[in-house]
Amino acid sequence: MDMTKTEREYLRELAKRQLEIANLPAMEARRKKWYKLNDGETAEPLVSVEFNGLPEQFFPAAVCESPPARELESRLNALLRYYELDDDRVIPAYYSIPVMNGFIPFGITVGYTTRFKHSMGYAFDHPIKDFEQDFHKLGKSVYTVDAGLANSARRKTEIEEVFGDILPVKIEFPSFNISLGHVMCSLMGMETMFLAMYDYPELLHKALEMLTGDYLEYMDALEGGGAILPNGDGSHLGQGSFGYTHDLRAAGEIDGRVTFGDCWGYGNFQETVRTSPEMFDEFFFSYMEKITRRFGLYSYGCCEPVHELWDLCLSRLSNLRKLSISAWCGEESIADDIRGKKIVYHRKPSANFISADAVFNEEAFGAHIAKSVKVARGCPLEVTFREELTLMDEPWRLKRAVELTREQFAKSWRG
C-alpha cells in the first residue's frame, strides 16, 4: 500500500491496541452472550451502539493523509472509540474486510446531490421521471462475483503487509442486504413510486419481477462462484447488529459448497410506510419473500412500524430471527406477536433524547427505555442506538445512554 513510514507505524500501534482489547476476558464473555441472544435465549438483554451521524462529533480526527492509510485508520479508530462506550459490542481479534461482490439494480447507478455544506443531507437524482415513459431505462442488473474470493484475498494480502503480523486480517461475508423499496424509491422518488401502484400496477409488477429475478440470478452466481461465506459469527448484521448464532453452520461444519442457507439475510421496506398491508403484500412483500426464503436466518426492518405488517406478511417468514422495533412501532402489539418464537426484539429507541433535546433528560430517557424493557419481557431483547445523527456536541451522551439502559435492564428485565 502506498503510505508513509510514519502512517504505517501509527496503524501498527492502533492494531496492537485493538488486539489488546480483543483479548480481554470481557470480550469472550460478551461473545457468549450474543450467541445466546441470537439463538433465542431471553436470560440477558444486550445493548450496543452504531454511530452513523456526523463523524467529527464522535470519532477521532484523522491523522493519516494518504487515502489507503486513512481508510484503515478510520476502521481501527472506530472500534477503539466504540470500546470506550463499554456497551456489549465485541471487539474482534482481527481486522475484517467484506467479500468484494457487487450488484447494480437495473444497471443504473443513481447519483445524488448534496444539499448543504457540512451536512449529511442529500437528494437522489432520480433517473425515472415518468414511470411509463421512462420504463425502457430499466435494464438488466449488473453484478460482479468475486469467484473463489480471489479479489478479496488480494485485498487481504495488501492489508496484512501493513499490520498482519500483529492483527490477523479476515475476509467476512456480512448479512446479504436487499431492500427492494429503497431501490425503487431511489430510481423514481417516493411520490412516483406510490402513484405507480395506482396508475401503472402492471408496470410496477413487471419491474419488481425483473429485479427479483436478477437478485435470485445473482445469488445463484455467488453460490456457484464460491463468493460467499457462512456468517453466523461476528460478521456485521444489518441494522447495527452481529451474526453470532449456533443455528447456522460454521465454516468447519460445511463439507462442500456454502449456500445462502448458511447465511443471514437482511432487508427492510421503510420507504413503503403507510402502504396498506394488502398493497404492501401485493407489490412488495410477495417479491421479497421469494428472496428471503433462501436464507438460513433473516433479520428484518429499519424505521418502519412492523406491527402493522405482522399478521398478513411478516408472520409468514419461517426463518425470521431478528425484528427491528423502531420508535414508530406499536411495542406492545409486536411483543405479543413474537414472544416465544425465538425472534429477537431488536429495539431502536427514539433518537430525540440524544439528538434533539438541548438538555439530555435522563429521567425521561430512563422511562422511555423502561417501557421497552417491560414490554419485551419474555423475548430475546437487544437495544441498539444507531439513528443518532448528532450528539449535540456532547459525545458523552452515548455512553450515558448505555449506562442508563443497563440500569433499566437491572430494574425491570425478566427473561
If pLDDT is split at 50, 70 and 90, which confidence band does 294 have?
very high
Q: For position 122, what pLDDT does the model report?
A: 86
Q: Which three cell numbers stand for residue 297?
A: 436466518
What integer is the mean pLDDT of 260-268?
98
Where are the strands (E) in 258-380, listed by range? 264-267, 297-300, 320-325, 344-347
Q: Are 179 and 187 in contact (CB under 8 A)?
A: no
Per cent of the chain over pLDDT 90 is 95
Q: Cα–Cα distance between 106 and 183 in angstroms, integer?
A: 9
Cell of 286: 410477495
Burial of residue 44, with CB atoms counted within 10 A of its CB: 0-12 exposed, 13-18 middle, 19 or more buried: middle
The residue-averaged pLDDT of 172-183 equals 97
SS (H, E, C) 327-358: CCCCHHHHHHHHCCCCCEEEECCCCHHHHCCC
| pLDDT tens, position by position, 9-33 | 999 999 999 999 999 999 999 999 9
pLDDT at 255 over 90: no
Q: How far apart are CA 217 and CA 103, in angstroms?
A: 11
pLDDT of residue 271: 96
Q: What is the mean pLDDT of residues 386-406?
A: 96
Residue 49, pLDDT > 70, answer: yes
Residue 149 to residue 365: CA distance in whole angstroms: 45
The pLDDT of residue 114 is 86
Please state, rounded to an integer, the average pLDDT across all residues of the chain. 96
Mean pLDDT calculated for residue range 325-350:
97
Q: How far apart are CA 340 and CA 303, in angstroms?
A: 23
The pLDDT of 179-190, averaged and rounded, is: 97
Mention every residue, 6+ apart, whose C-beta is less than 8 A from residue 100: 144, 146, 151, 152, 155
Query: What is the per-residue pLDDT for 237?
Result: 97
Work out the pLDDT band at 252, boundaries 50, 70, 90: confident
Q: For position 118, what pLDDT does the model report?
A: 67
Spatial separation of the C-alpha atoms in residues 322 and 243, rounded to whole Å: 10
Residue in this structure with the C-alpha cell 481501527, named with its chain if needed: 76
Helix spans in 96-200 (H): 131-134, 150-163, 180-188, 190-199
Query: Which residues, in sequence order, are CB contacts of 170 under 8 Å at separation 6+?
Result: 92, 94, 95, 96, 97, 156
What pLDDT does 264 receive? Answer: 98
Strands (E) in 260-414, as ranges, are: 264-267, 297-300, 320-325, 344-347, 381-385
- What is the rounded average pLDDT of the residues 69-82? 98
pLDDT computed for residue 1 by the predictor = 87
Report the predicted TM-score, pTM, of the whole model to 2 decimal places: 0.96
Q: What pLDDT, on a 0 to 100 scale, did the predictor assign at position 251?
A: 87
Separation CA 160–CA 15 (nearest Å)? 11
Check if CATH label 3.20.130.10 holds for domain 5-412: no
Could you tell me the residue ranges of all domains in the chain? 5-412
Residues facing 241 on adjacent strands: 237
Give the cell for residue 313. 406478511
**What integer pLDDT is reported at residue 197 of this predicted model?**
96
Gyration radius of the chain's alpha carbons: 22
Q: How confident is the model at residue 172 (pLDDT cuts 50, 70, 90)?
A: very high
